[in-house]
Structure 1
Amino acid sequence: MRLAIISDIHSNVDALQAVLADIRASDVQHVVCLGDLVGYHTFPRETLAVLRDSEIRSVHGNHDLMAVGRLPRDDCGPVARKAIRWTQTVLTEEDRHYLASLPSELYPQRSILCVHSAPGDPLVRLRTSGQFYGEYLRIGESDPEVRLCFTGHTHVARAMTITPRGDVLCPLERDITLDPAAFYFVNPGSVGCPRDGDYRAAYAMLDCGAQRLSFRRVNYDPTRVLREDRRHGIRVEFGPFVRRSLRSRTLAAVRRVARLIDVLP
């Protein structure tokens, strides 16, 4: 079975559709979303319709809970609060019921746990080795069969391996073969609002048979979404990330050309 993990769509339906097209071309049998379906961007109803029509299972994220009044908006910044207030005005009753019905965790397989951030807490940001190790101990006590935990929320793709020798960050530039003796935390990055300097939509794919994990990036045109955000007075920080990503990729291309010129006779 091949499993695709997406997260943090944040009402960016164009990024979502680009990712789903890439997934369909990759012979994936199941897709799971790690929450934050809405918030920030301005296509929440369209995003939820695509997810429902595609029958994608999802857990809830903090923005989803805020959108239906189950978390206070005080737990986020001013841009996020403004986006949530706007989102609440356009959601239908069906949308609200769908968001309110999302679970806090899913198990695609008995050894795989999917949550938004950490089990039982959709707000904590897992970033440090100590945080990951603490969650590893808690999961081990409550559910020792779990060997792989998919988590989102930070909008940055990463993989953390925890072994008896200690914790080691896995590189994202290549596929990872999972060690059955190790425990893994994997963040697929964000579909709709990446925070790693690369505007492309991010997700992860797991070949459960071969135990191979890969991180994917998908190109799409963010212009329509950003234009609609501005029309509603929502200035998402995604804009600077787009400019920074385009600038860094342009500089990288220039450097590659320069190196080629240097080796020409």
Structure 2
Amino acid sequence: MRFAILSDIHANCDALGAVLADVNRQGVQVVVHLGDVVGYNTRPRETLALLREHAIAGVRGNHDLMAIGKLPADQCGPVGRKAISWTRKVLTESDCDYLASLPAELRLAGGMLCVHSALGDPVVRLHSREQFAEEAEVLRQFDAELRVCFTGHTHLAQLVEVGPSGVLRRAPAADMELDPEAFCFVNPGSVGQPRDGDERAAYAVFDPDTRRVSFHRVAYDARRIMRDNARRGIKIGPRTGATGSLLARLFDAAP
């Protein structure tokens, strides 16, 4: 059974629809999301409806918590705060109930765990080799059976493998088989708000039988969500972030 891993949809229902169509074409059996369903973009209700229509399980992200008042919005920049304020005004009680029902973590059979960022902390960003090594130890203590952690939040697809002595391998989005002896982190990138300079929606597929992970990009009409955002006074598009220096920091120490 293969799993499609989606993260950081950020109220971009067009990107989500394109990804779900691509997942269906590939015959992937299970879809899960890693949170930040809302925020930034301005189609939150349509996005939530798609997730519920397809019965997609997932976890909560920091933007989901901000949208229902469980985290302060001041951790965002000005555009992010404005988007959260707008989102709070349009969500229905049912939408808020759905977001509130999302768990902090989701365990999958076969030693797999889904979180938004780090265990118990949807805000911290895992960047450094030391952070990944420390988080791997935390997760091993949390559940000795865990072997793979799916994590989002940074909007950048990558794979990190951790052994007893620290990080063994770190790579951007590249299809490969995971080391069966390592603890592995897989970040699928962002469906609705990529930060690698490529506006196409990003997601990953994992096959636990072969331990093979593949990263995918899906084109869609990104101009449409940008127009919707602009009409609602949110000047943001699906391609954001200063990518160069961040990517360098992520991968400059990779073995």
TM-score surpassing 0.5?
Answer: yes
- Secondary structure of the structure 2 residue equivalent to 1:217: strand
Deviation at 1:238, TM superposition (A): 3.6
* Identity in percent: 57
**Contact 1:226–1:239 at 8 Å: present in 2 too?**
no
| CA distance in structure 2 between the aligned counterparts of 1:65 and 1:125, rounded to whole angstroms | 16
| CA distance in structure 2 between the aligned counterparts of 1:219 and 1:182, rounded to whole angstroms | 33
Deviation at 1:174, TM superposition (A): 3.9
**Contact 1:9–1:16 at 8 Å: present in 2 too?**
yes
**Contact 1:170–1:176 at 8 Å: present in 2 too?**
no
**Contact 2:226–2:237 at 8 Å: present in 1 too?**
no
**Contact 2:9–2:37 at 8 Å: present in 1 too?**
yes
| CA distance in structure 1 between the aligned counterparts of 2:19 and 2:36, rounded to whole angstroms | 16
CA displacement, residues 2-46 of structure 1 (integer Å, 9 cap, x when unaligned): 000000000000000000000001111111100000000000000
**Contact 1:158–1:169 at 8 Å: present in 2 too?**
no
Residue 91 (str. 1) matches residue 85 (str. 2) = no
| RMSD of equivalent CA atoms | 1.5
Structure 1 residue aligned with 2:16: 16
| CA distance in structure 1 between the aligned counterparts of 2:52 and 2:239, rounded to whole angstroms | 28
Deviation at 1:235, TM superposition (A): 1.4
**Contact 2:225–2:237 at 8 Å: present in 1 too?**
no
| CA distance in structure 2 between the aligned counterparts of 1:216 and 1:182, rounded to whole angstroms | 23
**Within-5 A mapping of 1:1-265:** 1-172=1-172, 174-236=174-236, 238=238
Superposed structure 1 runs of 4+ greater than 6 Å apart: none
**Contact 1:155–1:189 at 8 Å: present in 2 too?**
yes
- Secondary structure of the structure 1 residue equivalent to 2:26: coil
Aligned length: 242
**Contact 1:59–1:104 at 8 Å: present in 2 too?**
yes
**Contact 2:148–2:185 at 8 Å: present in 1 too?**
yes
Structure 1 stretches lacking a partner, 5+ long = 245-265
Deviation at 1:165, TM superposition (A): 4.9
Structure 2 stretches lacking a partner, 5+ long = 244-255
| CA distance in structure 2 between the aligned counterparts of 1:122 and 1:103, rounded to whole angstroms | 11
- Secondary structure of the structure 2 residue equivalent to 1:25: helix
